[in-house]
Amino acid sequence: MTLTAFLLILVSVFLHAGWNLLLKEHKPSLAFCLLISCSALLCMSPFYLLCPLSKLGLSWKFWAFLGGSVVGELLYVASLAHGYRYFDFSLFYPLARALPVVMLAIGSFFLPLGRERPGLWALVGMAVLFFGCLCMASRTKGKDNAEARPAWELWFWAVVGATGTCLYTGFDNAATNLVKDSGTLTWGLVPACAYFCLVEIGLVLGNGVIVACNPSERKVFKELFGKTWTPLVAGFFDALCYSLVLIAYTKATNASMVFAFRQLGLPVGFLAGVFFLHEKALPRKIVGLCCIVAGLLISVL
Q: How far is CA 4 from the centre of its chain?
A: 20
DSSP string computed for 157-209? HHHHHHHHHHHHHHHHHHHHHHHHHHTSS--SHHHHHHHHHHHHHHHHHHHHH
DSSP secondary structure, 217-255, as one string: HHHHHHHHTTT-SHHHHHHHHHHHHHHHHHHHHHHSSBH
What is the overall mean pLDDT for the chain?
A: 82
pLDDT at position 143 over 50: no
Task: Tell me which residue range forms the domain holding 70.
Answer: 3-299
Q: Which one of 79-83, 134-138, 143-147 scores highest in mean pLDDT?
A: 79-83
User: If you average pLDDT over residues 16-20, what whole number do you get?
Assistant: 89
pLDDT value of residue 73: 95
Evaluate if residue 11 carries a pLDDT over 60: yes
- Gyration radius of the chain's alpha carbons: 18
Name which of 172, 149, 116, 166 is nearest 2 in CA terms: 116
Give pLDDT, residue 80. 94
Per-residue pLDDT, averaged over 59-79, amounts to 94
Structural domain total, the chain = 1
Confidence of residue 31 (pLDDT cuts 50, 70, 90): very high
Give the three-state DSSP class for 254: strand
**Mean pLDDT for the stretch of residues 228-239:** 91
pLDDT value of position 260: 67
CA distance 155 to 95: 8
Q: Which pLDDT value is given to residue 93?
A: 82
- Binned at pLDDT 50, 70 and 90, residue 65 comes out as very high
Hey, how many other C-beta atoms are within 10 angstroms of the C-beta on 119?
Answer: 12
pLDDT score of 138: 66
Least confident among 13-27, 33-47, 118-132: 118-132
Query: Is it the case that residue 146 has pLDDT exceeding 50?
Result: no
pLDDT single digits (tens) 275-284: 888 887 778 7
Q: What kind and span of H or E run contains 13?
A: helix 3-25
pLDDT at residue 111, rounded to an integer: 58
Average pLDDT over residues 108-120: 60
